[in-house]
A and B are shown apart, each in its own frame.
Chain A
Amino acid sequence: MTLQQQFDDIPGTTLFDAQRSRQGYHLNMFCMSLMKAENRAAFKANEAEYLKRFPMTPEQSAAILKRDWNGMISLGGNIYFLAKLFSSDGLSFQHVAAIMTGSTQQEYAQMMLNGGRPVEGNRSKSEWQQRG
């Protein structure tokens, strides 16, 4: 496997590499703009209108409006930038992590209390495919 293939083979994980950084530049810079209180207010007042300030693709805007976190990541979003968006929504990292993994808040929090997601069975996409 090439190095790129090795990274791509890690299941449920998106490497924020050059290609994704270019793809997600405006999406991430939109998130960055929410660091300012006046921008947060403008976004809250009319989300779709505010997004027009950033030259994003329709798919990126739609993912933001739907708060489709995995969708945003697949379109070049980076988790530390997305954190600006979910923080302004009043959500924690753990809350959004639960959503991204398809668990309930309680299931996810319990998994962490039990020691987290084990690495066994979570190293390769082939392991996830076998599990179905």
Chain B
Amino acid sequence: MADIIAGVATSHVPAIGAAIDLGKTQEPYWAPLFKGYEASKKWIAEVQPDVIILVYNDHASAFSLEVIPTFALGCAAEFPPADEGWGPRPVPVVKGNPELAWHIAQSVILDEFDLTIVNNMTVDHGLTVPLSLMFGQPKEWPCQVIPLAVNVVQYPPPTGNRCYNLGKAIRKAVASFDKDLKVVIFGTGGMSHQLQGPRAGLINREFDTRFLDNLTKDPQALAKLPHIDYVREAGSEGIEMVMWLIMRGALDDDVRETYRFYHVPGSNTAVGHIILENKR
């Protein structure tokens, strides 16, 4: 039986990817940030997941305004890195798991989460930066990855509650897959940040800390948080944090917080990172 054993949340700032790709991780600006992921790299090297379900958002790379799926599940065998305007990141092609992905799609659709099935898509920094943070610069990614792209660019994104419940449906889907697979789910994006307009640069450490606390202790309270609170308190792009609730919903109600890291700034963003493990 396949089993989701843990969840990882992390910001996915594009400048972090550029710092890795350009060999700047030891520069004074970046070194404290990358130091914060050393323990996580050790952790995931020990856990050795077979599959990562990676919840992220596309930043006008694979999806423009022509088609805007709220939830899009990558069911292909592989996903090349996207050219985001300065050439694709020099990272390995992401290998999927079509069998499990299709199983999840069928299961959650019958559970009334009508997501979009995608067989051809590139993946941008939203997906590849978290992989780089957790695995460094390998020749091949050490496990398969199922991308789950969530619209958080066009208002309205899905509600936190919808995301949390989708996580629960994904958990049920994975548990009913009849191959032995160790699965870790990633929620990415956030934390507080605003990239646009005269209020750009907004950071709210208090909001972020409370969000991290409640992610472990009281995700149901977080799931009730309305969009306006994210935008006002955590910045227009802080709304990405709804994606973390998909990860949380896919875990047990009772989880252990294994690791936490928080750092300001990563370019314009508060970089937040947490690892949660089921206690089983």
Q: Kindly state whether residue A25 has any CB partner on chain B within 8 Å.
A: yes
Nearest chain A CB to B132 CB, angstrom units: 18
Asked whether A83 is an interface residue with its Cβ less than 8 Å from the other chain, the reply is yes
Residues of B contacting A87 with CB < 8 Å? 84-86
Q: Is A65 an interface residue (CB 8 A)?
A: no
Q: Is A3 an interface residue (CB 8 A)?
A: yes
Give bound CA distance, A83 to B15, whole Å: 13
Which residues of chain A (56-96) have a CB below 8 Å from chain B? 70, 73, 78-81, 83-84, 87-88, 92-94
List residues of chain B with CB within 8 A of the CB of A97: 195-196, 200-201, 268
Contact mask A1-30 → B, CB, 8 Å, 1/0? 001001100111111111001000100110
B202: chain A residues at CB < 8 Å are: 116-119, 122
In the complex, A34→B64 CA distance in Å?
A: 12
Q: Are A116 and B197 also in contact (CB < 8 A) when A28-B64, A34-B85, A35-B83 are?
A: no
A41 within 8 A of B: no
Give chain B's interface secondary structure class.
Answer: loop
Contact A116 B264, CB 8 Å, known A6-B228, A13-B197, A101-B198: yes
Contact A3 B84 (CB under 8 A): no
Which of B60, B153, B207, B265 has the most chain A CB atoms closer than 10 A to its own CB?
Answer: B60
Q: Which residue of A lies closest to B60 (CB)?
A: A80
Chain B interface extent, by class: 35 or more
The answer to whether A12 and B197 touch (CB under 8 A), given A115-B205, A122-B202, is yes
Contact A93 to B201, CB < 8 A, known contacts A28-B64, A116-B270: no
* B231-A7 in contact (CB<8A): yes
Decide if A100 touches B197 in the complex (CB within 8 Å).
yes
For chain B residues 103-136, which have a beta carbon within 8 Å of chain A?
A: none
Q: Is there a chain A Cβ closer than 8 Å to B233's Cβ? A: yes
Residues of A within 8 Å of B205, CB to CB, are 115
Are A119 and B268 closer than 8 Å at their CB atoms? no
- The yes or no answer to B204 lying at the interface (CB within 8 A) is yes
Evaluate contact between A112 and B155: CB separation under 8 angstroms: no
Q: Do B196 and A14 touch (CB < 8 A)?
A: yes
A28 to B268 CA separation, bound complex (whole angstroms) = 22
Chain B contacts for A6, CB-based, 8 A: 228, 232
CB <8 Å contact, A116 and B203: yes
Q: A3-B228, A80-B153, A101-B200 are in contact. Are A93 and B265 (CB under 8 A)?
A: no
Residue from B66, B153, B206, B265 within 8 A of A78 (CB atoms): B153
Closest to B265 in A: A112
Q: Which residues of A contact B264 (CB under 8 A)?
A: 112, 115-116
**What residue of chain A has the Cβ atom nearest to residue B82's Cβ?**
A35
Task: Report whether A73 and B197 are in contact in the complex, using a CB–CB cutoff of 8 Å.
Answer: yes
For A111, what are the chain B residues with a Cβ–Cβ distance below 8 Å? 201
Q: Does B194 interact with chain A (Cβ within 8 Å)?
A: yes
A51 in contact (CB, < 8 A): no
B236 sits at the interface (CB 8 A)? yes
Q: List 9 A-B contacts (CB under 8 A).
A: A10-B199, A11-B198, A25-B65, A29-B66, A78-B60, A100-B197, A115-B265, A116-B265, A122-B202
- Known interface pairs A40-B85, A115-B205; 5 further A-B residue pairs with C-beta atoms within 8 A, sorted by A's residue number: A10-B231, A79-B195, A93-B268, A112-B203, A117-B200
Residues of B within 8 A of A (CB): 14-15, 59-61, 64-66, 83-86, 153-156, 192, 194-207, 228, 231-233, 235-237, 264-265, 267-268, 270
Binding site for B on A (CB under 8 A): 3, 6-7, 10-18, 21, 25, 28-29, 31-32, 34-35, 40, 70, 73, 78-81, 83-84, 87-88, 92-94, 97, 100-102, 108, 111-113, 115-119, 122-123
